[in-house]
């Protein structure tokens, strides 16, 4: 098949882009950024690079639109024709293009959100907290709805799982480009010199092109802590109180800001970064201390700056706004502690008592950050008391707008973040605890591992003393399989402090991960609730308990369909046990970013939970690229929090709980059929002799471990002879890279075929939220897969039996998903999502073809031959690019 002429190529690309129906302003952004990247490539000093990129781009678009073997073969031939050095440059060019397309998409989302915020009907958005409150109040009454709103809790927990394929340097460049794109928009609106904005973007895109896309070495745990802190500094510190403000504005109307808010802070941020040591030997007690110190420095600096900024604006004269007696008493206490500064501030603000005090409060926050014991606050409660004294004085003087304006937002920030910022959680494997306890009980010399495990408990105690009890104390036990696994934590804590010491306050959280453990969860919980220390802690917290559910290992254990059904049943059973025992349960969802690890839209997943399993509280892990996608931009972060909080509020509405209960009951036979059929099909693949090494051969699983993605090792041992040794993240990541996405769908086609009744399944899709969420997530997973490219990966394994099994199940699943959703193609009922996937697919194909040639060269090398470093580097570059294109890793 001949190559297209330049005119034909331009016409093909133009028609393809037009078919995607991209919003006009986003299309303009993509074209402008793409043109600037093209200019950078032409100026790169590599002759013919731009032309080679365009050849491959045109060929993959033609192959994607024509769907003929000849067109695909021509695209593959072009990818294979490049020298390794040129293939690297082309891979980097496509990766840079994806970063720019992702930026344009995010910019369009922000643009739409801001336009929506400017409309008078903004608060009536159907998936906002304000709208959810109105719907809930219609069912349970205003008072009950308000009580539920004020008790609501959303608790995202940031983790350092190695799923962010971008370097921080690349992310920083993209954030600078986002600012420049904003400025470009402003130049178009204001008639300013847009050429200046474009020149600056060209400079930044050139920087992006020249920045090495791969990290030279793995980040340390402390590096990972600092990466998460960037999200806090740039978005979360200000975004969270703005969400509270928006909700309060919507619910109180014109009175908002002039009287006390009815919204209470409902966001708490947790972190495993620097605390999760399960399988990560680099996370030590020393690292945990450093992580807490860094987080505290960031939040205290943010609070100090906010207090100082607000203080400078409170230029309210004592005549118009007289101070209360309590405020004057506070002034005298603050002046006595910081006399010189107080006198200097009094000179600058002689008749502005509220301003003087807030500026002194800012100094006390700074002293807290600097560990100045003479001036520092002992805990956040004392700071809150001082701020409320200022607020009460303003209200008494008639200055309600000042009392409930920026000062209220500062109060919300202190209530949300304290002096610790993130509630640092520790996680360790139950097997480690058992090994250490056996050694301690034997009474011999203590190993390095034992000393390290005990030091963790001493560190938790230190953090609680220094930063407050909320700073640390949650202790997650991975692979909890018995009540003894949980009791072991309390025994270790007592060993750590000795017979005369006081153990730290611990909330021990079981993590149920495998299919068997999920089924055993209620029995294990019933046993541990009788344990003296566990029972005492339950009573001390008002019978509050957290239970964590693992989505990753359960999916790898029995397949995505059976795992989803098992997780639902486990939640229902645990919730029923908690209600019977008067326990206020919070289920902690260990969800990944990828669909094979429980990913997908959080709000729809929340609304599909079993009755009484949410009850106004939702906690989940936010991992890797998901952190930056959901919280990297202030507007998107606020929208995400608003949507999730709305779902949390509505999940416990009587109508929603009844819908989920009735659907689970009605479709229980369907669920049972799907569970058995999908598990049998999944086991026929993963339990086949030689499956694990075959999987390692047909995907870049081994090579993914070479990427400097995170501090945590990719697998538990050196062998890939068994899936048990492989962590869930590379399991999902590798299938994603091979454009198969098997971890997200395998077994569903067989499950639906076993049910067989198309009308029944279409009805279930309408009536059964859990089923609808599963089908929608699989549709997305399959839409990002590509059976033509998948076929070439599967051919690397010399196991036609296993390859045929995957291909057949893929085709069967695609066919059934399309029929169940009532369309003619995947995502036909979600056109916006479908366009986003189609817009990227041919460009991802280009990178996949480059990856395939590198993987094939590595796999076909003679046994014992040294690894070709050039092919290996090309492979790793393509992995990074495909991750950017699919916006998924693990």
Q: What angle do CA 575, 576, 578 make, to 5 degrees?
A: 65
Nearest to 55 by CA among 850, 880, 873, 606: 850
Out of 161, 364, 490, 784, which one is annotated catalytic? 161
Count of other CB atoms within 10 angstroms of residue 430: 21
| Structure tokens that stand for 659 in this block | 């819908």
| Token pair 């209360």: residue | 324
Rounded CA gap, 492 and 502, in Å?
A: 12
What DSSP assignment string belongs to 132-178? Answer: HHHHHHHHH-HHHHHHHHHH-EEEEEEE--S---S-HHHHHHHHHHH
Residue 595 contacts residue 781 (beta carbons within 8 Å): yes
Q: Mention every residue, 6+ apart, whose C-beta is less than 8 A from residue 417.
A: 237, 269, 299, 302, 303
SS3 label, residue 413:
helix
Rounded CA gap, 826 and 37, in Å?
A: 32
Q: How far is CA 771 from CA 263, 568, 593, 663, 785, in A?
A: 34, 11, 20, 9, 21
Rounded CA gap, 253 and 262, in Å?
A: 12
Bridge partners of 270, per DSSP, are 157, 423
Residue 375 contacts residue 367 (beta carbons within 8 Å): yes
Rounded CA gap, 99 and 170, in Å?
A: 9
Q: At what angle do helices 84-117 and 634-651 cross, to 10 degrees?
A: 60
Residue 57, CB half-sphere, CA atoms under 13 Å: how many? 25
Q: How many residues does the chain have?
A: 890
Residue 314: burial class (beta carbons within 10 Å; 0-12, 13-18, 19+): buried
Rg over alpha carbons for the chain, rounded to the nearest Å, is 29
Rounded CA gap, 783 and 739, in Å?
A: 10
Is 161 considered catalytic here?
Answer: yes
| Structure tokens that stand for 359 in this block | 């500026």
Q: Mention every residue, 6+ apart, whose C-beta is less than 8 A from residue 288.
A: 274, 275, 424, 426, 456, 459, 463, 472
Out of 107, 364, 556, 589, which one is annotated catalytic? 556
Is 293 considered catalytic here?
Answer: no
Nearest to 12 by CA among 55, 49, 62: 62
| Structure tokens that stand for 763 in this block | 């009805």
| Structure tokens that stand for 375 in this block | 């001036």
Q: Mention every residue, 6+ apart, whose C-beta is less than 8 A from residue 459.
A: 285, 288, 289, 472
**Active centre residues (catalytic):** 161, 556
């Amino acid at each position: 098949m001949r190559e297209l002429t330049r005119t034909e190529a331009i016409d093909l690309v133009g028609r393809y882009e037009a078919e995607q129906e991209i919003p006009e302003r986003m299309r303009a952004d993509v074209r402008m950024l793409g043109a600037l990247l093209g200019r950078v490539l032409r100026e790169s000093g590599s002759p013919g690079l731009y032309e080679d990129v365009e050849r491959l781009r045109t060929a993959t678009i033609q192959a994607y639109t024509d769907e003929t073997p000849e067109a695909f073969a021509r695209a593959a031939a072009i990818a294979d024709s490049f020298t390794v050095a040129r293939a690297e440059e082309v891979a980097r060019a496509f990766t840079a293009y994806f970063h720019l397309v992702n930026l344009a998409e995010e910019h369009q989302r922000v643009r739409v959100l801001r336009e929506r915020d400017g409309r008078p009907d903004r608060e009536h958005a159907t998936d906002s907290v304000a709208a959810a409150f109105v719907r809930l109040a219609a069912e349970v009454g205003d008072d009950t709805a308000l009580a539920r709103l004020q008790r609501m809790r959303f608790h995202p927990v940031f983790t350092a799982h190695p799923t962010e394929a971008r370097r921080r340097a690349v992310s920083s460049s993209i954030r600078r480009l986002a600012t420049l794109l904003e400025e470009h928009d402003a130049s178009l609106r204001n008639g300013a010199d847009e050429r200046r904005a474009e020149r600056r973007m060209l400079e930044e895109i050139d920087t992006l092109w020249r920045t090495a896309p791969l990290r030279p070495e793995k980040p340390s745990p402390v590096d990972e802590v600092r990466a998460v802190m960037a999200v806090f500094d740039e978005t979360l510190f200000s975004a969270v109180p703005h969400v509270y403000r928006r909700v309060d504005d919507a619910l109180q109307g014109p009175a908002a800001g002039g009287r006390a808010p009815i919204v209470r802070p409902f966001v708490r941020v947790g972190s495993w970064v620097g605390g999760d040591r399960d399988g990560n030997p680099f996370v030590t007690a020393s690292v945990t201390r450093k992580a807490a110190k860094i987080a505290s420095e960031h939040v205290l600096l943010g609070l100090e700056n906010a207090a100082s900024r607000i203080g400078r604006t409170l230029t309210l004269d004592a005549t118009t706004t007289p101070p209360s007696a309590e405020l004057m008493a506070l002034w005298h206490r603050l002046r006595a502690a910081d006399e010189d500064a107080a006198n200097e501030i009094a000179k600058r603000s002689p008749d502005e008592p509220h301003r003087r005090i807030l500026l002194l409060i800012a100094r006390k926050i700074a002293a807290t950050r600097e560990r100045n014991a003479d001036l520092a606050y002992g805990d956040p409660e004392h700071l809150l008391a001082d701020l409320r004294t200022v607020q009460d004085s303003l209200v008494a003087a008639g200055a309600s707008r000042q009392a409930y304006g920026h000062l209220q937002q500062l109060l919300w920030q202190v209530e949300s973040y304290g002096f610790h910022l993130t509630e640092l959680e520790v996680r360790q494997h139950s097997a480690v605890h058992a090994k250490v306890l056996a050694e301690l009980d034997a009474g011999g010399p203590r190993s390095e591992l034992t000393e390290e495990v005990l030091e963790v408990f001493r560190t938790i105690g230190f953090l609680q003393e220094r930063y407050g009890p909320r700073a640390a104390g949650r202790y997650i036990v991975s692979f909890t399989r018995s009540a003894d696994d949980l009791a072991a934590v309390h025994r270790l804590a007592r060993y750590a402090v000795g017979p005369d010491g006081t153990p730290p306050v611990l909330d021990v959280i079981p993590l149920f991960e495998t299919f068997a453990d999920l089924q055993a969860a209620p029995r294990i919980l019933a046993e541990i609730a009788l344990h003296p220390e566990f029972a005492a802690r339950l009573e001390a917290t008002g019978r509050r308990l957290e239970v964590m559910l693992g989505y990753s290992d359960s999916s790898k254990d029995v397949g995505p369909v059976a795992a989803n059904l098992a997780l639902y049943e486990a939640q229902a059973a645990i919730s029923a046990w908690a209600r019977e025992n008067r326990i206020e349960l919070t289920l902690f969802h260990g969800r990944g970013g990828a669909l094979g690890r429980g990913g997908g839209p959080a709000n729809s997943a929340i609304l599909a939970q079993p009755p009484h399993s949410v009850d106004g509280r939702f906690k989940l892990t936010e991992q890797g690229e998901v952190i930056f996608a959901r919280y990297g931009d202030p507007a998107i972060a606020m929208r995400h929090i608003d949507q999730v909080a709305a779902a949390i509020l509505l999940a416990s509405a009587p109508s929603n709980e009844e819908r989920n209960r009735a659907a689970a009951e009605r479709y229980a036979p369907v669920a049972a059929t799907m569970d058995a059929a999908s598990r049998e099909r999944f086991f026929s693949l993963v339990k086949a002799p030689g499956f694990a090494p075959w999987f390692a051969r047909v995907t870049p699983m081994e090579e993914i471990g070479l990427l400097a993605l995170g501090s945590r090792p990719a697998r538990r041992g050196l062998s890939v002879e068994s899936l048990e040794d492989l962590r869930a993240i590379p399991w999902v990541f590798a299938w994603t890279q091979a454009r198969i996405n098997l971890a997200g769908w395998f077994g569903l086609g067989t499950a639906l075929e076993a049910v067989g009744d198309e009308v029944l399944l279409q009805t279930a899709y309408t009536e059964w939220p859990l089923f609808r969420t599963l089908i929608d997530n699989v549709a997305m997973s399959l839409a990002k897969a590509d059976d033509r490219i998948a076929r070439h990966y599967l051919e690397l394994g010399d196991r036609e039996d296993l390859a045929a099994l995957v291909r057949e199940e893929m085709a069967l699943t695609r066919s059934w998903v399309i029929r169940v959703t009532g369309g003619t193609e995947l995502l036909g009922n979600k056109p916006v999502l479908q366009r986003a996937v189609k817009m990227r697919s041919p460009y991802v194909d280009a990178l996949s073809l480059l990856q395939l040639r590198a993987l094939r060269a590595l796999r076909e090398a003679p046994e014992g031959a040294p690894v070709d470093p050039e092919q290996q580097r090309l492979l790793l570059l393509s992995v990074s690019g495909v991750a950017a294109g699919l916006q998924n890793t693990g």
